[in-house]
Amino acid sequence: MFKKVLIANRGEIACRIIRACRDLSIKTVAVHSEVDRESMHVKLADQAICVGHASASESYLNIPSIIAAAEISGADAIHPGYGFLAENTYFAEVCEACGLKFIGPSKESIEQMGDKISAVELMKKSGVPTVPGSNGSVSADDPKIFAMAKKTGYPVIIKATAGGGGKGMRIVVSEEALQNAIIMAQTEAKAAFGNPDVYMEKYIEEPHHIEFQVLGDKYGRTAYLPERDCSIQRRHQKLVEESPSPLMSPALRKKMGKAAKSVAAAIKYVTVGTVEFILDKKGHFYFMEMNTRIQVEHPVTEMITGIDLVKEQIKLAAGEKLSIISEKVKILGHAIECRINAEDPDTDFIPSPGKIGKLFLPGGPGIRIDSHVYSGYTIPPFYDSLIAKIIAFGSDRNESVIRMQRALREVEIEGIKNTVSLHSKIMANETFRKGGVSTDFLPKYIFER
Ligand code: MV4
């Protein structure tokens, strides 16, 4: 097992990783920017090193500084968390070249899943269902695109191969708009990712976002865990996640879970990852993408399975054998996570950084808080606006919703705008309470009525 882990991240996830390390008796090194000296992760870690100025590109993305910090502190592994360097193949490669274990999959796995065209192609070969479409990149001046779109059937969606998470996507409803949409998508993709390649898929209307946690060890063993339903999103930002999905039957869970497991097996995946599917109205599911990192919403899976995913991730990276057997994992209840952001939901979610005055975070039966903020803490304007995750566990969905409502009522955050009131609105919504909403829920039921 590792003796000392450097955490190349900040915020709640850095704190979460430090706690997992402590449970494994591993020493921890925090890195931080100049404005993050008073951050919780710096206080929680055994050791802290400043790696640069406030802007992420000069600190949390500054590879030479982070590697130097690992060498100076004598760390033997680096945990990247999510965001920042978590899915950067170059960083994974540099870590390994410097004799530092990257706590994540191989750079080959990151690469294969980072390119969406190659990811989809690989899935097709492995027998995992994919959406009908172009099978590779499309070009605006290729006359065949019209026949292709017609055969697929409108609407179609144009996606960037280097994209993911909803970035750079365009829905095309008719032939007239096709060529222009491809040109626009290519231009955007080139500007955002440095790669102009785009591909075409049939657009699945009112989909549900269902994802499966997978795990793999370096001996070729893989497992899947029960799904997370992340259909409540706004502009590709997840706001609420839950597990299990209200839509799932044991048979469909097994079918989708096995497909997710075969995705992991196909790329000899090591550590933890997530296979994302969309599920249509008829119960057909399609592979979307794979996230090769620990995700923000991992706690809902932890709550319903009793498995500490960050601990598992570290153990798998250290070369331990996977001991989880999918079929033996029991679903212990229901969990919901609400992401509390320092944003103003009444003014188009503009960020609301600043100093937190009075702060009270809830507790009591079934409530877990993953957060890095405290009374007197100043949220800097440079990073993402997630300030706390409230996770409510109950014996069934209704109990977890009721506990979430109780928790939301208890929250007090003075000094900054936040999204608590929006979550209360969602929890009280009749359609949400019935369960099984699609990704159209937020725009349709919360913002336009
Ligand atoms: C789609 C789709 C419909 N049809 N692909 C957005 C995030 C990315 N991972 C996949 N996304 C979508 N891909 C086809 N062929 C609809 C979405 C989508 C979506 C998916 C999951 C959750 C929220 C969403 C919101 C808008 C669009």
What pLDDT does 168 receive?
A: 80
Which residue's alpha carbon is at the smallest distance from atom 9 of ligand 1? 165
Written as one string, the DSSP assignment of 55-94 is: SGGGTTT-HHHHHHHHHHHT-SEEE--SSTTTT-HHHHHH
Q: pLDDT tens digit string along 292-306? A: 999 999 999 999 999
Residue 266: closest CA among 424, 121, 123 = 123
Q: Answer yes or no: pTM beyond 0.85.
A: yes
Residue 234 makes CB contacts below 8 A (sequence gap 6+) with: 349, 442, 443, 447
pLDDT at 97 over 70: yes
What pLDDT does 420 receive?
A: 98
Average pLDDT over residues 365-390: 98
- How far apart, in whole angstroms, are the C-alpha atoms of residue 299 and residue 385? 18
Which residue's alpha carbon is at the smallest distance from atom 7 of ligand 1? 166
Task: Tell me whether residue 147 is exposed, middle or buried, using C-beta atoms within 10 angstroms of its C-beta: 0 to 12, 13 to 18, 19 or more.
Answer: exposed
Tokens representing 415? 């000094």
- How far apart, in whole angstroms, are the C-alpha atoms of residue 29 and residue 222? 30
Q: pLDDT tens digit string along 132-163? A: 999 899 999 999 999 999 999 999 999 999 98
User: 204 C-alpha vs ligand 1 centroid, how far in Å?
Assistant: 8
User: 235 C-alpha vs ligand 1 centroid, how far in Å?
Assistant: 10
What pLDDT does 234 receive?
A: 94
**Residue 239 contacts residue 248 (beta carbons within 8 Å):** no
User: 166 C-alpha vs ligand 1 centroid, how far in Å?
Assistant: 6
Q: pLDDT tens digit string along 197-210? A: 999 999 999 999 99
- 293 catalytic, yes or no? yes
How sure is the predictor about 315, in pLDDT bands with cuts at 50, 70 and 90? very high
